[in-house]
Copies of this chain bind each other. A is one copy, B any other.
Amino acid sequence: MPRSTCHSVTVQFGDCDPAGIVFFPNFSRWMDAASLSFFMQCGIPPWRELVKTRGIVGTPLLEIHTRFVTAATYGQTLEIATHVEEWRAKVFVQLHRITRREADGRETLVCEGRETRAFVRRDPEDPDRLRAIPVPEDLRSLCQ
């Protein structure tokens, strides 16, 4: 079983659109927070430390794929369960399942997202460019 972490979010009024439901880019925002929370719970230092010690700027996205199952609204608490589904040479796929606990105790799936990410450094010759690096073994082993 791969390591899995949990990240909790309470939906705010301003997270919702005129239809009264979560404006969906907020789910992307929360999955990004869950992604970083996963790394921090696994013991990886924040990017602002890693950029100083190892030049790693973060794990930008190459691809996202999200399926929305049920709408959510403000006042509700969402749980995001995160694990790495697949490690490849230069990329990895993180899976986020966002669920809500109902009044009757059941757990409802709100949405599910896959993020393909890579660790990146700044290009030494053009610091405005970010370059994917092979997944660092030590960081990977912390996440398993």
Contacts and interface: CB of A to CB of B under 8 A. Distances in A.
A28 B48 CA distance: 25
Interface residues of A, number: 39
Nearest to A62: B68
Given A18-B48, A18-B74, A24 B67 contact: no
Q: How many copies, total?
A: 4
Interface string A49-89: 00000000110111111111001011100000000000000
A18 B47 contact: yes
A128 B28 CA distance: 23
Given A25-B28, A29-B25, A16 B17 contact: yes
Contacts of A14: 17, 23, 25, 29, 32-33
B71 A60 contact: yes
Contacts of A18: 13, 16-20, 47-48, 58, 73-74
A12 B29 contact: yes
Nearest to A26: B25
A51 to B, nearest CB: 9
Interface of A: 12-14, 16-21, 23-26, 28-29, 32-33, 36, 40, 46-48, 57-58, 60-68, 71, 73-75, 128, 130
Q: What 6 A-B pairs are tightest by C-beta distance, nearest first?
A: A25-B28, A14-B23, A18-B20, A25-B29, A12-B33, A25-B25
